[in-house]
Structure 1
Amino acid sequence: MNLIHQSLFALLLTFISLNSNAQQQKTFQPKEVYKTDRLIITQISKNAFVHTSYKQTNDFGNVPCNGLVVRNGKETIVFDTPTNDSTSHELIQWIESSLHCQINAIIPTHFHDDCLGGLKAFDEHQIPSYAYFKTIDLARANNYTVPKNSFSDSVVLKLGNQYIVARFFGEGHTKDNIVGYFPSEQILFGGCLLKSVNASKGFLGDAVVTSWSATVQKIKNEYPHLKLVVPGHGSYGNQQLLDYTIKLFSGE
C-alpha cells in the first residue's frame, strides 16, 4: 500500500470511527436501572433518568407518575417528587448511593401531590426546593408541604458546569404548571401539562382547558430542537408529545 493509499485508508477509518460514535450517541438505548414495587428509575440518556412512582386514584386506578433526574458531574436536580415521602426517601438514597451525586434542588412543576407529595422527605435531607410563586400559594391553600424558594416566570439553576431552566409558559393542566429544560441534552420535562401520545385528557379539576393548546404552542416555539420530552404520566418521546397535546385541546 503506497503512502497515498495509506493516508486515504487512515481517513476512512477515522470517518467510520467518528460516524460510529455519533450513531452510538444518537441511538442511546434506554434501560431500567432500578426497580421496586413502588419506584422505577429508567435512564433515558447519558445524564437523564425518569423516576416513576404510583398514586392510587378513584377515577383512574393506580396511576404511574413521572419525574425527572438530570445530572452533570457529581450534581443532580430533580423535577417533581415521587408521590409520597417514603418513596422520595428511596429516590434520594438511590441518587446518593448509586449515582454518587448530591441533589442541588427539587422543583415541583405544579401543586398536585403527584408533583410535591414527597416534598417533606427532601426537606428532611436539607435539599433546597424551588417553585413558581402560584405553586407555593396553592400548596399553602391546600395544606400541602410548601416549597421553600419561589420564582416568578422562570429560574435558572447551576448544575455542575451546565444549568437547567424552569419556566412558566401559561395555564393548562393547572394555573401554575411549569416545565423544566435541560439544554445540554435538549430534554424537556413537561409534567402534567404534556400528554403522552394517545393519552386521554386526564384529570381536569384544576385545568384551564381554553389556554392549554396555546401554552404548549409557546413551549414548542421556544424549544424547536427538543430530543426528548417527558410527560407527567405515560411514555416519554419527542416533540410529537407537544403536537399531540396541542391537538388534544385545540377544540376547547
Structure 2
Amino acid sequence: MRKLICICLGLLIAHASTAQSASKPKLRVTPLTDGVYVHTTYGMYQGEPVPSNGLIVNTSDGVVLIDTGWDTKDSTDNTWQLLRWVADSLRQPVRLCIVTHSHDDKVGGIGELRKAGIRVVSTALTAQKTVASGYESPEDILPADTTFTIGNVPIRTYFPGAGHTSDNIVVWLPRQQILHGGCFVKSVAAFGLGYIGEANLSEWSKSVRRVMDRFGKAKWVIPGHDEWTDTKALEHTLQLLSKHAAAQPHR
C-alpha cells in the first residue's frame, strides 16, 4: 500500500512539473533605447512556449505598437497584458498598432485592441489574409513604402517583397536606427527557417537584400522570434536560406 501511494505521489509530482514547465510565460518588456521597448509574448507550439517579439514606441503623442501580442481567436490575454503594461508603466494612450503580416503571432490581439478603441493598420494584402484567417480586419491603408510621423517620431513601413509570407513588411525607426524585421528576419539563434508553409523561398533572399540595401546601418534588428542583434540577423537569414536551398534534391 505504501509503495502504491509513493507511485501515485510520484506521478502527481511529475505531472505537476510537466504542466509547470510547459506553461506559457507572461509578457516580457525589454528597454531597447530611450522610448523604444521590445514586447515579448508567448504562444504554445508543439507543447512548448515560443516567444514572439514586437515593439512599443513611446512618443509625445502616445504609444505606437508594432504587432499585437501572440493571441488566438479564443484568448487575447497577451495583448491585454501588453495594454495594461503600457497604461501602468508609460501612462500614455496607445494611438496605433501596425501589424507586419497576417499570422496569429502578429494579428491575434486585434480584437482586444479594437475593444480598447485602438486603430490597427496594415497593407491591403495583410488585411485580406487576416480576415481569411478569421480575425478582425486591420485598416488596409499602408502602401508598399511610406513614412509618417507620430509625436515627432518618424516611422517607415516597407514591403521588401515576398519572403516568410507574401505580405510581410518591415518597420524602420530612422531616428533610433531600429529595424523591426518581424518573421521575415530570423534570429541569429535560429537553426532553421521555422514555418515555411506560406513562404516564397525563391524570392526571400532577394527581398532580404533589398532590406539590407536600405537599412544596412541598423543598430538593432528585431526578428519575429528569439533574441535580437544588429544586421547579423539579416546575414544569418540569408545563410539559412542558402543552406535550405542546398539541402533540396536536384531535379
TM-score per shorter chain, which class? 0.7 to 0.9
| Kept after mapping to 1: 8 A contact 2:126/2:140 | no
Superposition deviation, residue 74 in structure 1: 4.9
Q: CA RMSD in A?
A: 1.6
Mapping of 1:11-160 within 5 angstroms? 37-58=25-46, 61-84=48-71, 85-160=76-151
Superposition deviation, residue 224 in structure 1: 2.4
Name the count of aligned residue pairs: 216
1:171 aligned onto 2:162:
yes
| Kept after mapping to 1: 8 A contact 2:189/2:226 | no
Superposition deviation, residue 209 in structure 1: 1.1
| Kept after mapping to 2: 8 A contact 1:167/1:179 | yes
Give the Cα separation in 1 of the matches to 2:144 and 2:85: 31
| Kept after mapping to 1: 8 A contact 2:25/2:49 | no
Mapping of 1:183-202 within 5 angstroms? 183-199=174-190, 200-202=192-194
Code of the residue aligned with 1:40 in structure 2: it is R
SS across alignment from 2:114: helix
Residues 81-113 of structure 1 deviation map (CA, whole Å, 9 limit, x = unaligned): 001222211111211221122222101110000
SS across alignment from 1:190: strand
| Kept after mapping to 1: 8 A contact 2:30/2:37 | yes
SS across alignment from 1:230: strand
SS across alignment from 1:171: coil
1:219 aligned onto 2:206:
no
Identity %: 32
- Tell me the residue number matched to 2:5: none
Give the Cα separation in 2 of the matches to 1:149 and 1:125: 19
Give the Cα separation in 1 of the matches to 2:87 and 2:140: 23
Unaligned runs of 5+ in 1: 1-35
Give the Cα separation in 2 of the matches to 1:37 and 1:201: 23
- Tell me the residue number matched to 1:11: none
- Tell me the residue number matched to 2:197: 205
Give the Cα separation in 1 of the matches to 2:174 and 2:91: 22
Unaligned runs of 5+ in 2: 1-23, 246-251
- Tell me the residue number matched to 1:21: none
SS across alignment from 2:210: helix
Superposition deviation, residue 157 in structure 1: 3.0
1:234 aligned onto 2:226:
yes
SS across alignment from 2:227: coil
Residues 133-177 of structure 1 deviation map (CA, whole Å, 9 limit, x = unaligned): 110111111212211243231333322112111111110000000
Superposition deviation, residue 121 in structure 1: 0.8
Code of the residue aligned with 2:208 in structure 1: it is V
Code of the residue aligned with 2:68 in structure 1: it is T
| Kept after mapping to 2: 8 A contact 1:164/1:181 | yes
Superposition deviation, residue 125 in structure 1: 1.2
Give the Cα separation in 2 of the matches to 1:153 and 1:82: 24
Residues 37-58 of structure 1 deviation map (CA, whole Å, 9 limit, x = unaligned): 4211111111211111111123
Residues 12-36 of structure 1 deviation map (CA, whole Å, 9 limit, x = unaligned): xxxxxxxxxxxxxxxxxxxxxxxx9
